[in-house]
Amino acid sequence: MITVADALNNLTPTAEWGIDHLNNDTIKWVSVDVTQPTDSEITAEVTRLQAEYDALQYQRDRAEAYPSLTEQADMQFHDAVDGTTTWQDVIQGVKDTYPKPI
């Protein structure tokens, strides 16, 4: 989940600030040379970053589903020796299960 801190880091990478968790997560702005983003700018950035993160869920799902590189190398070796397509079939199965959004 994307947080206000993520948004602030992205919007103002050189700024110094803190979040007072004891006071309703109030932002304590320290930087005098960087303007603090408005609440609406922060909210919009949280929304944008969350959408960006969500759009890449298929990559995280695929990474977990793929066999290890050692297993893939073994499949490729046996495919070359046996004339099979096991490795391609496994990889395509993962890609079909977790398709890349269009």
In a domain, 26, yes or no: yes
- Looking at the chain, how many residues does it have? 102
Q: Are 36 and 27 in contact, with CB atoms under 8 Å apart?
A: yes
Identify whether residues 16 and 40 lie together within a single domain: yes
Identify whether residues 49 and 8 lie together within a single domain: yes
Closest C-alpha among 32, 34, 29 to residue 12? 34
Question: pLDDT of 43-101, one tens digit each?
Answer: 999 999 999 999 999 999 999 999 999 999 999 999 999 999 999 999 999 999 999 98
pTM value is 0.77
Those residues whose C-beta lies under 8 Å from the C-beta of residue 86, and which sit 6 or more positions away, are: 75, 78, 79
Domain region containing 27: 4-55
Asked if pLDDT for residue 23 goes beyond 90, the answer is: no
Task: Tell me the DSSP string of 59-86.
Answer: HHHHHHHSPPHHHHHHHHHHHHHHT--H
